[in-house]
Chain A
Amino acid sequence: MKYVIKKILGLIITLLIVSMLTFFAFELIPGDPARSILGTDGTLEQVQALREEMGLNRPLPQRYGEWVFNFLHGDMGNSYYYQKSVQDLIGDRIPITVAMTILSFSMILVLSVAVSIFSVRYANRLFDRIFLIVDQIMMSVPPFFIGIIFTAVFGLTLHWFTPGGYVSYEKDVGGFIGYLILPSLAIALPRAAMAAKLLRSSLLDEMQKDYVRTAYSRGNGPWRVLLHHVLKNGILPVITFLGMTAADIIANSIVVEQVFGIPGVGRMLISSISKRDYPVVEAIIVLIAVVTLVMNILVDALYKKLDKRIEVI
């Protein structure tokens, strides 16, 4: 119980620091929301008047304090640009990005585990050699580029999907997931390649351990040894890496959503930054931070579940 309280306290403090840094960062970069609303035609007086109205002329700590206060009361403020509340604005976009993150994460997990197990089972044989080459290539290609290739090959040449033809989940859940498969895969491939490489060497290390010999001496076959004994031990060192991929997926989804024309949180973030729409940016960043932190806590918990030697501190 004490452990849980400690973790939650840590989470709150981290969130405060992250939101504060974001708030102050916007103070430092050039650009002004009032100016971007009024456009280049607005006179200096008009800009000043709007800034006054939006409360931008008040001191920074006061504005930050107010934002935190409202946020804690469930009010994320209003978008400067869309004249809508931030909740409404990102509320129906969150499910899209969450679905894509989950899809992508599952792909990373399944791909890396399956491929690395085969590669360890047939270590130094043809499959393994081919895997190592392909893996190296996949690792070095950025997701947006894979996305472009996918669009060109599966969209424009093979016509498996219509590029930009996003299907809303409210209309057709099957079509929605179908449309998300390729972008999720584009995000997943480089990360899966990295995870597979780590997992492969970790599993190979485990294969040399004494308990593997013990397992063979009991009459286990090579597949059973891999799946029942080695996998659980070998995946331990890779869990931290898998935990970090959650944040990485969201970061990559920002670009990949652009490539595939998906109206997710990532696209919203980019457009809001360029419009200096602080309340929206602030809310999204806090959300990403929450996901990252929760993933970290889950990773810790998973470690302890898998390896009982790790003590609760």
Chain B
Amino acid sequence: MLDVERLSIHFEDRGRREEAVKNVSFQLADGKILGIVGESGSGKTMTALTIAGLKKQRAVIDGGSVCLDGVDLLTLDDAQMRSVQGARIGMIFQEPMSALNPTMKIGKQLEEVLVLHAKLSKEERRNKVFAAMEDVELENPRELYEKYPHELSGGMRQRAMLAAAIVCRPKLLIADEPTTALDVQTQDGILGLLKKLNQKYGMSILFISHNLRVVEKLCGRVLVMKSGEVVEEGSVEAIFGNPQTEYTRELIAAIPDACGKNWKDGATVEQDEAVAEEIAVWQGEAVADENAMEKDVLEPKKVLEVCHLNAYYREGRVRRQILQDVSFTLHEGEIVGLVGGSGSGKTTLCKCVLGLLKEYDGVVIHHTKRPQMVFQDPYGSLNPRKTIGWILEEPLKVQGGFSKEERRRKAEEMLERVHLPKEFYKRYPKELSGGQRQRVSIATALMTGTKFILADEPLSALDVTVQAQMIELLKELQEKEKICYLFVSHDLDVVHLLCDRVLKVEGKTVTSMYG
């Protein structure tokens, strides 16, 4: 049905030519699901956007064809292409937060596709929208119709996006990293839905992701891309069971395998089961580990003590309790995961630890300098107008008492500690890659001399291979310098791989697992 033949695309950027997609060919048959995997910059999103007719103007198509049911989409003019978009090709994107228009009611946004492509009465349109909402398992369609995106959770927004994409029953659904920004449980819900829609309506799906585990669960065939080229193509079994190229092997090796086995066995889309299993595995291992831990740990120095913490959230006059009687201790050189669904109180707990929340009682004692934060978005969290050197020196300037030379020397030393070249001192954040920026964030946090870093999803914006390098760095700092991390994440794989134990926030309380 979809037949992409020798597609080549390049970017023109001030005279510089950059090949984005080179000679890519593949087919997607009716009612099948094809996954495209690869790192960012591999050209997978570019390919998808081109098929959907959404490529940026800077991107120039050098050759090839994209045939949908025998019609080459690349030869259509704008108006003809618009009659295909939404009607025969539906698309969902990575960020459900920003992909919906913030000032338009959900119902209106779902209806828009019908306004554009179908001649229906208002009543008929509404009924179709309600039916689509039911298809994606959104409850109370009538109420949701009148709501605005900010009133919905991330998972609900992605479902609403999906409903808008399928309301015209397109033959092809292009899903560009649709689960990456969601937490694990919501992810599985969306994957289940895609599978259901695929079976129910025979809708073909082109699924783009860098998360191989997700691709393995959903897709029948997989296409591996690297720097604009197709490296390998085959059935899921062949790709995962018997990868032919070094690159595919690397990608598969980068999947944390502890849970990987578990997921492979389960291989169901039912989310609750998977999560329950995972937790069961941890608890099982926890028992085994307990004895080992007790022996070789000679009571390390405490970094943070939290005793009988009650935290509240004030909404006007109403005070809602978020956390109840929470107690735990963190020690030097420990990596502790903080997990829990969205809205469980993870953020509230972090704010208490950082001293940003006033509405709490109980005791929070720091045994080191103030904890420092490392954030999720390595692009937004560094000031784009300042050099790396300036950013690194800022904590020292705030502390005072360092000469210019001393500050510079310390900043350069710090760059070495996080394995960045000294020359970065003079560079600007935009010249660095995501992984390098995240290293700078960690370096900045360490500049204060603290032994305690609070990291909020520090890896989830990074590629799998870069993630692996970052995990190495975090572990190295932990071992060499006895840094303690409180690691907030919804990526259970990474938590499992990195953390010594896990604090799970659930139902106002915190349970410590694995130690």
Q: Say yes or no: is B54 at the interface (Cβ < 8 Å to chain A).
A: yes
Known contacts A218-B86, A219-B86, A306-B103; is-contact A210 B116 (Cβ 8 Å): no
> Which one of B89, B103, B104, B116 lies within 8 Å of A220 (CB-CB)?
B116
Among listed B76-84, B129-137, B344-352, interface-contacting one: B76-84
Q: Say yes or no: is B338 at the interface (Cβ < 8 Å to chain A).
A: no
From B52, which residue of chain A is reached at the shortest CB distance? A217
Question: A121 vs B113: C-alpha distance in the bound complex, in angstroms?
Answer: 22
> Which one of B87, B93, B116 lies within 8 Å of A214 (CB-CB)?
B93
Q: B79-106: which residues lie under 8 A (CB-CB) from chain A? A: 79, 82-87, 89-91, 93, 95, 98-104
**A307–B85 touching, CB < 8 Å:** no
**A210–B148 touching, CB < 8 Å:** no
Q: Say yes or no: is B112 at the interface (Cβ < 8 Å to chain A).
A: yes
**B82–A220 touching, CB < 8 Å:** yes
B residues less than 8 Å from A213 (CB atoms): 54, 93, 99
> Which one of A210, A233, A307 lies within 8 Å of B95 (CB-CB)?
A210
**A211–B102 touching, CB < 8 Å:** yes
Q: A182-233: which residues lie under 8 A (CB-CB) from chain B? A: 209-211, 213-221, 224, 228-229, 232-233
Q: Say yes or no: is A309 at the interface (Cβ < 8 Å to chain B).
A: yes
Chain A residues touching B, range: 20 to 34
**B99–A210 touching, CB < 8 Å:** yes
**B98–A233 touching, CB < 8 Å:** no
Question: A306 vs B104: C-alpha distance in the bound complex, in angstroms?
Answer: 9
Q: A261-313: which residues lie under 8 A (CB-CB) from chain B? A: 306-309
A residues less than 8 Å from B113 (CB atoms): 218-219
**A221–B117 touching, CB < 8 Å:** no
Q: A221-248: which residues lie under 8 A (CB-CB) from chain B? A: 221, 224, 228-229, 232-233, 236
B residues less than 8 Å from A220 (CB atoms): 82, 112, 116
Question: A215 vs B148: C-alpha distance in the bound complex, in angstroms?
Answer: 16
**B116–A219 touching, CB < 8 Å:** yes
> Which one of B85, B99, B116, B150 lies within 8 Å of A211 (CB-CB)?
B99
0/1 string, A104-131, CB within 8 A of B gives 1? 0000000000000000000000000000
Q: Say yes or no: is B164 at the interface (Cβ < 8 Å to chain A).
A: yes
A residues less than 8 Å from B151 (CB atoms): 308
Question: A233 vs B100: C-alpha distance in the bound complex, in angstroms?
Answer: 12
**A218–B99 touching, CB < 8 Å:** no
Q: How far is the CB of A25 from chain B (nearest CB, A)?
A: 41
From A231, which residue of chain B is reached at the shortest CB distance? B103
Q: Say yes or no: is B161 at the interface (Cβ < 8 Å to chain A).
A: yes
> Which one of A214, A236, A308 lies within 8 Å of B99 (CB-CB)?
A214
**B150–A217 touching, CB < 8 Å:** no
**A210–B164 touching, CB < 8 Å:** no
Which one of A218, A224, A309 has the greatest number of beta carbons of chain B within 10 Å? A218
**A214–B161 touching, CB < 8 Å:** yes
Q: B39-80: which residues lie under 8 A (CB-CB) from chain A? A: 52-54, 78-79
**B150–A309 touching, CB < 8 Å:** yes
**B164–A309 touching, CB < 8 Å:** no
Question: A214 vs B112: C-alpha distance in the bound complex, in angstroms?
Answer: 11
Q: How far is the CB of B86 from chain A (nearest CB, A)?
A: 4
A residues less than 8 Å from B164 (CB atoms): 214, 218
Q: How far is the CB of B353 from chain A (nearest CB, A)?
A: 28
Question: A219 vs B168: C-alpha distance in the bound complex, in angstroms?
Answer: 11
**A219–B117 touching, CB < 8 Å:** yes
Question: A218 vs B161: C-alpha distance in the bound complex, in angstroms?
Answer: 11
Known contacts A210-B95, A309-B148; is-contact A218 B100 (Cβ 8 Å): no
Question: A111 vs B452: C-alpha distance in the bound complex, in angstroms?
Answer: 57
Known contacts A210-B95, A308-B148; is-contact A217 B101 (Cβ 8 Å): no
Question: A221 vs B104: C-alpha distance in the bound complex, in angstroms?
Answer: 18
**B82–A219 touching, CB < 8 Å:** yes
A residues less than 8 Å from B87 (CB atoms): 219
A residues less than 8 Å from B89 (CB atoms): 217
Question: A259 vs B78: C-alpha distance in the bound complex, in angstroms?
Answer: 52
Question: A186 vs B227: C-alpha distance in the bound complex, in angstroms?
Answer: 58
Known contacts A214-B93, A219-B83, A220-B116; is-contact A233 B101 (Cβ 8 Å): yes
**A210–B103 touching, CB < 8 Å:** no
Q: How far is the CB of A227 from chain B (nearest CB, A)?
A: 12
Question: A218 vs B54: C-alpha distance in the bound complex, in angstroms?
Answer: 10
Q: How far is the CB of A76 from chain B (nearest CB, A)?
A: 42
Question: A219 vs B116: C-alpha distance in the bound complex, in angstroms?
Answer: 7
**A233–B103 touching, CB < 8 Å:** yes
B residues less than 8 Å from A309 (CB atoms): 102, 148, 150
Question: A215 vs B54: C-alpha distance in the bound complex, in angstroms?
Answer: 10
Question: A310 vs B249: C-alpha distance in the bound complex, in angstroms?
Answer: 50
Q: How far is the CB of B406 from chain A (nearest CB, A)?
A: 42
**A209–B116 touching, CB < 8 Å:** no
Question: A232 vs B93: C-alpha distance in the bound complex, in angstroms?
Answer: 22
B residues less than 8 Å from A214 (CB atoms): 91, 93, 99-101, 161, 164
Question: A210 vs B96: C-alpha distance in the bound complex, in angstroms?
Answer: 9
Question: A68 vs B109: C-alpha distance in the bound complex, in angstroms?
Answer: 53
Question: A214 vs B98: C-alpha distance in the bound complex, in angstroms?
Answer: 10
A residues less than 8 Å from B148 (CB atoms): 308-309
From A217, which residue of chain B is reached at the shortest CB distance? B91
From B81, which residue of chain A is reached at the shortest CB distance? A219
Question: A215 vs B78: C-alpha distance in the bound complex, in angstroms?
Answer: 15
Not counting A217-B52, A308-B151, a sample of 15 additional A-B residue pairs whose C-beta atoms are within 8 angstroms of each other reads A210-B95, A211-B101, A214-B91, A214-B93, A217-B86, A218-B113, A219-B86, A220-B82, A221-B79, A229-B104, A232-B104, A233-B102, A236-B103, A309-B102, A309-B150
Q: Which 8 A-B residue pairs are closest in the complex by CB-CB distance?
A: A219-B86, A218-B86, A219-B85, A210-B98, A217-B91, A211-B101, A219-B82, A210-B99
Between-chain CB contacts (< 8 Å), 19 pairs: A210-B93, A211-B101, A213-B54, A215-B101, A215-B112, A216-B53, A217-B90, A218-B85, A219-B82, A219-B84, A219-B87, A219-B113, A229-B104, A233-B101, A306-B103, A307-B103, A308-B150, A309-B102, A309-B148
* A contact residues vs B (CB 8 Å cutoff): 209-211, 213-221, 224, 228-229, 232-233, 236, 306-309
